[in-house]
Structure 1
Amino acid sequence: MTLPRNDTPVTTAPEAAADSLDLARAVAGLPEQMEAALASSQATEGAVDGSRIANVVVMGMGGSGVAGDIVSALAAPLMPVPVAVAKGYECPAFVGPTTLAIAVSFSGNTEETLTAATAAHDAGASVLAVTSGGRLAELAGEWAAPLYEVDSAIPMPRAAVGAISVAPLVALERAGLLSGIADWVDSAAAQLRTRRNAADGDGAAADPLEGIVRAVGNGELTPVFYGGGALGAVAAGRAKAQINENAKIPAFASFMPELCHNELAGWDQAGRLADGSPLAVIALRHDFEHVQLQRRYDFTHGVLDGARIAVPHAELHAAGDGPMAQLFDLIYQVDVLSLRVAAAARRDPGPIPLLEELKAFLA
């Protein structure tokens, strides 16, 4: 079935589950978080000389690693040097004395990021750290590297998306590789407040995502997020991760136009019609999509409707002035969506015991 396009605000999570870390408050405070990060970053001592930088690599994992994706999507198209994103233990082989390596770890103790950042430093790269403390802050001191401090009061890395993303952008601007970040943040914060204020009204009554939220929370559907271009791909990846971590539910993400070359062929799925589709597609749309992506979305909607087992699908649309505003508008919407799914599933969106078990196992 086709669900209506969603031009209504995403609303706050229903009071159906505990939120022990008050992530709902952290999500609602995203515009203020971005503004505070801008002020803090602009006041940070030390800057890298961009005239000697030939390439940039952003290192990070999980809720911190999304900073690299955001920098790549927003800044890379405007910068005179290439930007790479590294998510893992390995430092790219090209890293050397003309590299700016930005290490992002909210806790400062992410082992993959520490390993890669140390390798970058040893290779002669200019390193700067974005963290709330931990070993990464200690290394920044030992290396005399600029340290962009993130507010440690933020409850979890995934709730610090504004802080960990604004800091690298400001660092790139201070290196002379980018400009206009304050205006970007101002526009994004204004749009987020508009979205937040709208959600406080009565726009939730006709929310076309309510059925999908309830079905995902009940385990009847698994969400698949589609994003177009670089901005949409970041938003889709963020949505997947937030459903995984906040609702503790599987989710998947793909991006246009690549999915039209492979994944699209898989929607004419086999199975018993009586069972219905096990999947639902949520498209994350923005105004900076290539003109051909609109036609690809239209075709994809027809495929989903005409599949042997019709696939439920809906859209979230970004608003705001500029790419950063629209990207963070989508991030805000999917963050709130994940909290709604967690509430429907009656799961606390805060702690993730399984990941703590993994850390203990690796230790």
Structure 2
Amino acid sequence: MSIVDDIENFSDMLERSWKEREYNSIKARNIIISGMGGSGIVGLITKKIMEEDGNKIITTWNEYGLPNWADNDCHLICVSYSGNTAETISSAVEAEKRNIEWEAITTGGELNSYASDKEKEVVIIESGHQPRAALPLLLIPVLKKLDIMNIDKQIEDAINACNNIQEYHNNGASAGIAKRMMNKNIHVYGSGCGEVSAYRWKCQIEENAKQKVHWNRLPEFNHNEIVGWENAGENNFVICLRDNDEDENMFKRWEHTQELIWKNTDVFVAKSGTIGESTTTLGKILELIHLGDWISLELAKNNNIEPEPVKVIEELKKRIG
């Protein structure tokens, strides 16, 4: 299945993953989620949801091995769509050395073989997709395992929001936004739920449209990078991903930032809940993510680029071995 088909079926994939099976709950409070690239975004989304609606401590891990402090009070979830991600496999190996309980979510590969050999739980998900387009398949098992408050309501909200984004795309809106981005220096900024979504936009535009993107988050941006915009030059396109229910402090930061440094810059603002009509943490994040997925594909089309191949990543893997 092509990446375009996968993005078009995003909400269907989300609903199917939600309904097709149940999972064993994880009781540990300290959870480490190991994953890279399209699999790694799962940890960031889960961390944000848990900060807003949960009672567990989530650490995202995008390195080899494990953090020095990790011990057998932790529970490790290894997320690798291919099952052959070197960094994620090394996390599993390190967990075995430290007697840390762990499990895997994958389509197969070395991770599945290693987990099966060690008699660890493995969630085998549907194969045949680009890892970055298989987000619902990777995300839903993690969310259901962690007993997040109102998760059924949140998933239903996310499905509805993504359906609304699909309609927004079908009406030509994402193509219009992508047209404004052509041949520009792209900067994506986020706050609240938009912070995670902004990072996903960066990754999707870079992989699908093969165009470099700068990313940051507010309010941290206001304490350093804002000064750099005094000499940022022209030919910039700024994307601001915000929450529609942001508090007064964040509202002021966004509005005054735009007035101070982006008065003469083309700026696109998307607030979660305004297009997709989401109301929950998961819905807000996935609403903005789905919008970014479509815009990245439209930009690839404008750039006359095939979105699926990531040749330099594959070449790097060959060289590393």
Give the TM-score band, short-chain normalised. Answer: over 0.9
| Aligned match of 2:112 | 137
Q: Aligned partner of 1:301: which letter?
A: Q
| Aligned match of 1:125 | 100
User: Is contact 1:288–1:323 with CA below 8 Å preserved after alignment?
Assistant: no
1:183 to 153, 178, 193: 153
| Aligned match of 2:229 | 267
User: Could you tell me how far apart the structure 2 residues matched to 1:55 and 1:31 are?
Assistant: 30
1:223 to 177, 186, 196: 186
Q: Which runs of 5+ in 2 are unaligned?
A: none
Q: Which has the higher contact order (CA 8 A, sep 6+)?
A: 1
- Tell me how far 1:345 sits from its aligned partner: 0.4
User: Could you tell me how far apart the structure 1 residues matched to 2:20 and 2:85 are?
Assistant: 23
Q: Deviations over 1:261-298 (max 9, x none)?
A: 11111111165xxxxx1321110122353431111110
Q: Deviations over 1:63-87 (max 9, x none)?
A: 1000000010112343333211110
User: Could you tell me how far apart the structure 2 residues matched to 1:89 and 1:106 are?
Assistant: 17
Q: 1:285 to 1:238 in 2, by over 3 A?
A: same
User: Is contact 1:90–1:116 with CA below 8 Å preserved after alignment?
Assistant: yes
- Tell me how far 1:311 sits from its aligned partner: 2.3
| Aligned match of 1:329 | 287
User: Is contact 1:74–1:324 with CA below 8 Å preserved after alignment?
Assistant: yes
Q: Secondary structure at the match of 2:84?
A: coil
1:301 aligns with 2:258: yes
1:102 to 74, 77, 84: 77
- Tell me how far 1:235 sits from its aligned partner: 0.7
Aligned length: 317
Q: 1:279 to 1:80 in 2, by over 3 A?
A: same
Larger-Rg structure? 1
1:158 aligns with 2:115: no
- Tell me how far 1:23 sits from its aligned partner: 1.4
Where in structure 2 are the equivalents of 1:83-94 lying within 5 Å?
A: 83-94=58-69
User: Is contact 1:75–1:169 with CA below 8 Å preserved after alignment?
Assistant: no
Q: Aligned partner of 1:199: which letter?
A: H
User: Could you tell me how far apart the structure 1 residues matched to 2:217 and 2:85 are?
Assistant: 28
| Aligned match of 2:2 | 22
User: Could you tell me how far apart the structure 2 residues matched to 1:160 and 1:234 are?
Assistant: 17
Q: Quick one: percent identity of the two aligned structures? A: 26
Q: Which runs of 5+ in 1 are unaligned?
A: 1-20, 272-276
Q: Secondary structure at the match of 1:209?
A: helix
| Aligned match of 2:142 | 168
Q: Secondary structure at the match of 1:234?
A: helix
TM-score (norm. length: structure 2): 0.93
| Aligned match of 1:344 | 302
User: Is contact 2:25–2:144 with CA below 8 Å preserved after alignment?
Assistant: no
- Tell me how far 1:47 sits from its aligned partner: 4.5
Q: Deviations over 1:97-142 (max 9, x none)?
A: 2111011000000000100121123212221111111111112212
| Aligned match of 2:32 | 57
- Tell me how far 1:90 sits from its aligned partner: 2.8
Q: Aligned partner of 2:12: which letter?
A: E
Q: Deviations over 1:200-236 (max 9, x none)?
A: 34x649x7625423x2xxxx3121101013x221111
Q: Aligned partner of 1:212: which letter?
A: R
TM-score (norm. length: structure 1): 0.82
Q: Aligned partner of 1:23: which letter?
A: I
Q: Secondary structure at the match of 2:134?
A: helix
